[in-house]
Amino acid sequence: MLGRNRLLSATGAAALLFSTSAQAVEIEYWQYFFEARVNAMETLIGNFEAANPDITVKMTHFPYADYRTKVAAAIPAGEGPDVVQLFYGWLNDYVDADLIQPLPADVFSPEQIEADFFPMVQAMRSGDSYMALPTAVRSLALFYNERLFEEAGIETPPATLDELVAAAEALTKRDGAGNLIQEGITTGMTAQDHHWLREVLIRQFGGEPYLDDYQTVNYNDEAGLKALEFYTALEGSLGVTSSTFMDEPQAAFKAGRAGMHIDGSFRIGALEETRGLKWGVAELPAGPDGSQSNYASYWVNAITTKAEGEKYDAAVKFMEYIVSDEAMQIWLETVGELPAKPSAALTDANRENPVYGPFIRGLEYAHATKFANESAQRQVMVDMVGRIQLEGQTPAESLATAAAEEQKILDDYYAE
């Protein structure tokens, strides 16, 4: 009898275990590979699964170069992620390709989102619904090498563009043959400089890069020309930089071969792991009239069209957690990217933090470009500078060509 009871007990336990596992839901989360981001998401997934034992989240990541292709191929085939991370500038492409679905308004109320998040996330709204939301946002700031500043006798980071030029000249070194061996400031339009030019320099010289909710190019004017001339002079007449120096701007700064580097808050994690590099952060230098501007961007999380039924319900729950204040603070401390909500970002401790603070303060006057085609619009800026540096075009000629090219991209997109 005792043996039979034990058998029944074991059978019951097995049935309960089977029942529990049968009710468990597994969803997939995809992002591109960036070590700090992967570490942060592992923490968030662990927290979420502990609070939701009936849901398992499987994370997959790919090299950045392959990421968009993998996502575009997997979802239409009914495979791949239920929740996906994408750059905000790609949103239109994902919506047009039917890769993501609107967030449920009963959980993600547009009115509540617009009360809780920084205004820049409104680019994610489509009609009466939001298509995606960020855990974190980014802004730009000026990284500077403290050791090189000390060697050059520079006591404080530059607060204006004139001071930026003076510091860059003091920091630049060349060998006996005239070859650049240390940059005063890094440059590279394929990195963050196209954002610095578009949303920061043009505005600081008195312009507005776009009109009509980013559907009309507006930088082919005096302000746009002054901004472009300032930028191209850094490598041209001033000779304080080279866009090809050590291949990538961030590589030169990490190697201690550049005095200053403009980059996003996502760079913090990598610099903190760079041995022997002493660096600081300052807000972007102000324009000629003291005006401040910044560029903000973000990666968002969205629910894919693959997610249905119980997987959809689980994906909604996961989305709720990864855009919570708790998740945003974890992301800040692990990745260095800034909370997407003022309630999480603008704490006194965060604003005054010597590393995060300049980025967070920059959010208060930042602009997020509303792209129609982010990669094509970036290439317009790359080509604009390239025609000046490589083909000898005047800044005015190249600026006019760029404005016409970008307007055609916008016209073609919005005509559809």
Rounded mean pLDDT of the chain? Answer: 91
pLDDT at 374: 87
pLDDT at 11: 42
CATH number at residue 237: 3.40.190.10
pLDDT of residue 16: 41
- Do 160 and 177 fall within a single domain? yes
Hey, which residues does 136 pair with through a beta bridge? Answer: 299, 339
- For 194-251, write each residue's pLDDT tens digit: 999 999 999 999 999 999 989 999 999 999 999 999 999 999 999 999 999 988 899 9
In a domain, residue 230? The reply is: yes
Domain annotation covers residue 305: yes
Instruction: For residues 162 and 45, state if they share a domain.
Output: no
199 domain residue, yes or no: yes
Integer CA distances (angstroms), 119 to 134, 137, 351, in order: 12, 11, 18
CA distance 339 to 327: 9
Residues 117 and 156 in one domain: no
The answer to whether residues 150 and 226 belong to one domain is: yes
342 shares its domain with 385: no
- pLDDT value at position 407? 98
Same domain, 191 and 129: no
pLDDT at 263: 95
Helices within 302-373 (DSSP H only)? 309-322, 325-335, 342-345, 348-351, 357-363
Between the alpha carbon of residue 351 and those of residues 114, 193, 196, the distances in Å are 22, 25, 22
Residue 23 pLDDT: 67
Query: Does residue 15 fall inside a structural domain?
Result: no
Task: Report, as ranges of residue numbers, the positions in the chain whose pLDDT lies below 50.
Answer: 1-22
In the chain, the percentage of residues whose pLDDT exceeds 70 is: 94
One domain, residues 281 and 302? no
Same domain, 155 and 279: yes
Are 171 and 291 within one domain?
yes
Q: What does the pLDDT read at residue 340?
A: 93
pLDDT for 213 equals: 87
Domain housing 202? 140-296+372-415
Asked whether residue 268 is assigned to any structural domain, the reply reads yes
**Residue 13, domain member (yes or no):** no
Verify that 178 and 307 share a domain, yes or no.
Answer: no
**Same domain membership, residue 145 and residue 48:** no
Residue 57 lies in a domain: yes
Query: For residues 297 and 126, what is the distance between their CA atoms, to the nearest angstrom?
Result: 18
Q: What is the pLDDT of residue 322?
A: 97
- Reading phi first (left if > 0) and then psi (alpha if -120 to 50, else beta), residue 19 is in alpha
Number of domains in the chain: 2
Q: What is the pLDDT of residue 13?
A: 43
192 within some domain: yes
pLDDT at position 223 is 98
